[in-house]
Structure 1
C-alpha cells in the first residue's frame, strides 16, 4: 500500500511539474500570419500526414506565404496544390527522395532560388516509421531508417545552411517524435534516428546562433496519420495496418496548427499531441516510472 501511494504521489508531482512547465514552453503567441508573411517555406513530406496539413494551414492562415512542396509522390503534391488553388507565383512542386542523399541536394536548393530568390524556412518533416522487434529487424531496414530519417534530413539541411548564413537569417524545423526522447518497443531504429536528429539540430542551433538562424524541434506524440500504415516491418515490407493508438491520436490539423504556432514563437522545442509532454518529462525526471508504464503497454 505504501508503495502504491508513493507511486501515485510521484505521478501527481510530475504531472504538476509538466503542467507548470508547459505554461512557459507551449506556444502562446499564435501570430502565424505575421511571422510567415511573404516568406518562402519549404516543406518536405508534404504529400500526406502532418506535412500536408502544414501546407493547408499555412495557406489558410498566411495566404502571402510561398510554398515549396516536396515528397516522393509528385502526383499527390500536384493534387494538393490544385486543392489549395496555388499558382506558380505561390507554389513550387519539387519532388524529393531523402534516400538519394548521397548525391546531395544542392540542385534542389538552386531550383528554389531560381524561382523565389530565397528560402526563409525549411520544415524537415519527411520520414518513415517502423513496427518490428529488434531481433526480427534486418540490417537493411535499420540502414534505410537511418538513411531516410537522419542522413537524408541532415544532408538537405546542410544544403540550405550556406544560403541562411549568407542572408544572416533563416529557420530550420525538424519534425521528430516523442519516440526520439522515450523510445518504445517496435520502434528501435526509428527512435534512434529521431534521437540523432535532436542531437544534430541542438548542435546546429548553438553553432549558428550568431548567424541569426533559428532552430525548432517539434516532437509529436500519436497523430492520426498513415504513419503506421507506411511503416517498415522487420523484413522491409510495409506494415499496412493502422495502430489503435494512432487511430485515436491528435487530429493532424490540430498538430499542424500547434507546430506553426511554435515556429512563429521561435520556440526551441514544442511537444504536440496526447500526453506528449507528460511522456517526455517523465523520461527526464523519472525514467524508471516511465519504464514500468511502458512495460505494461500492449506494444511491450
Structure 2
C-alpha cells in the first residue's frame, strides 16, 4: 500500500470516514459534529441549545467529534456548497440535510416561528456518500503538478522541516546508493573524483538536515518531482535528519583526503586526514542507504 497512488490511499481513508458519518447522520433526527477538545465555543453553544430543546420536544440527538478524516471527507463531499469558504465547526445535520452554517444559523432557525419544528418534521434526506471513483475525481490533488515548495503535513516549506513523505525519502536514499556506487567505482582510478561525488552526497545530506526534501536540496527536489503521485504516508523527518547529519560529516570531511590522494591509483592519503578511508565510508553509507531505501526503517 505504501506505493499505491497517494490519492487512491486517501480515497480509501475518506470512504471509511464517510461510512462513519453516514451512520451518525442517517440514524438520528439531529446530528452535531464538533471540534475535538471541547474548546470550540460555537460547538458548546450549539449543544447547549439542542439539549434545552430536547427537554421540550422529542427528537433523537447525536453528538460526535469531527475528526480529521471525517472533516476532510465532508469538505470533498460538500465542496460545491461551500464554494471558496471553509467547513467550519460545528457541522449540523437535521433529518439528514446539512444546515448551512453553524450555531448562528441554528439559533436563527430555532428563534423563527416553528422553524426548528418544521425542520424536524420534514422528510428525511438520506446521507449517501459518493462512490470511491467520484471521491477520487473530487480530490484536489488528482491532477495537480508536483508541489516542490511544500512540506508534508501542509506546513511551511522554507524552514527546518519536521515532516516528509515516506517514498520521497526512499527515493533520496536510492539516489544516494547510485552516487555512492559511482564513487566506489572511481576510487581506484581517480580518488579525487570519488571524493567529489561523496562531497556532493554529504552536501546534499547537510541541506536535507537544514531544510528537508525541498528545492534547496537537489536529491529531495528530484525525488519529490518523480514520486509525487505515489509520495506515500507522512512521516517524521527527525530520525532521518540525524542519520543524514552523520552522512554530511563523513562525506564532507572526506573531501580533503580524496583531493590529497595519489591519482595514479594508490589511493594513499595524508596521515592527517580526518576521514582517510573513503572507500570504507562509501561502502558503509551505501549499505545503509540501500536498507533505508527498501525498508524505510
State the TM-score, normalizing by the size of structure 1.
0.20
State the TM-score, normalizing by the size of structure 2.
0.20
Q: Which has the larger radius of gyration?
A: 2
